[in-house]
Amino acid sequence: MMPKISCIIITFNEEKCLPHLLNSLKKQTYKNFEIIVSDNNSKDKTRQIARSFGCKIVQGGLPARARNNGAKHAKSDLLIFFDADTTLHKNLLKEILKEFNYRNLDVAGVNLVPITDSKFDKLLHKVYNLWQILIQKIDPHLSGACIIIKKKVFSNIGGFDESLMVAEDHALARKAKKKKYKFGILHNYIFLDIRRLKKEGNFKFTFKLMFFWFRRLFGEIKKSKVKYDLNAR
């Protein structure tokens, strides 16, 4: 039976996070999906872990290229891109498929719930979730943590722009809007490891995201003096 969903995970040295995501996929109540791991030549046990879960492994690269390469090998008509540092509740795929089809969407994102006890970090993500809902009709945004898109739509808009330094996920949403495809934020959520917040600090990381958002008002970002670790996604 052909899978109805292709789950595409981009990785680079993700031996710590990947097992959590793959275990949560294994426990899904909806079972008709495939898992593609698009790996950027990891030096740790990432590929070994992916094989142990029966994943299809393809050559990755930086985020945009890795996602595009994963999509090329997808068998289903619906693509769901995940970052490796995410975890799913057991009904996520079932609920995504139901709402996505019910609302007749072409592209969608979800809300982000941080894996933390910090009230401030939780508040920060609630603000982001509200913001992406409020702004979706004006300037739609997508988090690379979880992107749902029809394969035909993905192909028609040219996939992710590999020339961009940052925000290739948001650029995908903009391209879909320009082509008049139906976009929405689902009433669902995905658990997110906040390792980047911990590494850079709340203020520095939040300021950086705000800067990139403001900068994108004048066009997509192909170059910037602001440091941004492309592999730390």
Domain that holds residue 14: 5-218
Dihedral angle sign, alpha carbons of residues 23, 152, 186, 132: positive
143: CATH = 3.90.550.10
Please indicate, yes or no, if residue 134 is contained in any of the structural domains.
Answer: yes
State both tokens at 91.
Answer: 């009904």
Tell me the C-alpha to C-alpha distance, in Å, between residue 183 and each of 70, 105, 110, 159: 22, 6, 11, 15
User: Who has greater pLDDT, 220 or 78?
Assistant: 78
CA distance 50 to 43: 13
Q: At 203, is the pLDDT very low, low, confident or very high (cuts 50, 70, 90)?
A: low
- % of residues, the chain, pLDDT over 70: 84
Please indicate, yes or no, if residue 224 is contained in any of the structural domains.
Answer: no
> Which of these, 190, 101, 96, 184, lies nearest to 140 by C-alpha position?
184
Please indicate, yes or no, if residue 161 is contained in any of the structural domains.
Answer: yes
pLDDT, tens only, 142-174: 999 999 999 999 999 999 999 887 789 999 999
Q: Is the pTM of this model over 0.75?
A: yes
User: Who has greater pLDDT, 87 or 197?
Assistant: 87
Confidence check: pLDDT of 23 > 90: yes
* Domains of the chain: total: 1
> Which of these, 189, 183, 193, lies nearest to 111 by C-alpha position?
189
State both tokens at 115.
Answer: 């894996």
Concatenated DSSP letters of 166-194: S-HHHHHHHHHHHTT--EEEEEEEEEE--
pLDDT, tens only, 77-88: 999 999 999 999
E strand or H helix at 59? strand 56-59
Please indicate, yes or no, if residue 228 is contained in any of the structural domains.
Answer: no
Report whether 190 contacts 87 (CB < 8 A).
Answer: yes
Lowest mean pLDDT among 52-61, 139-148, 186-195, 210-219: 210-219
CA distance 132 to 139: 9
Q: Write down the mean pLDDT value for the chain.
A: 89
**Length of the chain in residues, anyone?**
233
Q: What is the predicted pLDDT for the residue at 228?
A: 42
Q: At 27, is the pLDDT very low, low, confident or very high (cuts 50, 70, 90)?
A: very high
CA distance 55 to 77: 18
CA distance 194 to 183: 26
Q: What angle is formed at CA 168 by the lines to CA 15 and CA 48, rounded to 5 degrees?
A: 20
Please indicate, yes or no, if residue 129 is contained in any of the structural domains.
Answer: yes
CA distance 79 to 4: 9
Please indicate, yes or no, if residue 223 is contained in any of the structural domains.
Answer: no
Please indicate, yes or no, if residue 12 is contained in any of the structural domains.
Answer: yes
Please indicate, yes or no, if residue 52 is contained in any of the structural domains.
Answer: yes
Crossing angle between the packed helical segments 168-178 and 63-72, to the nearest 10 degrees = 60
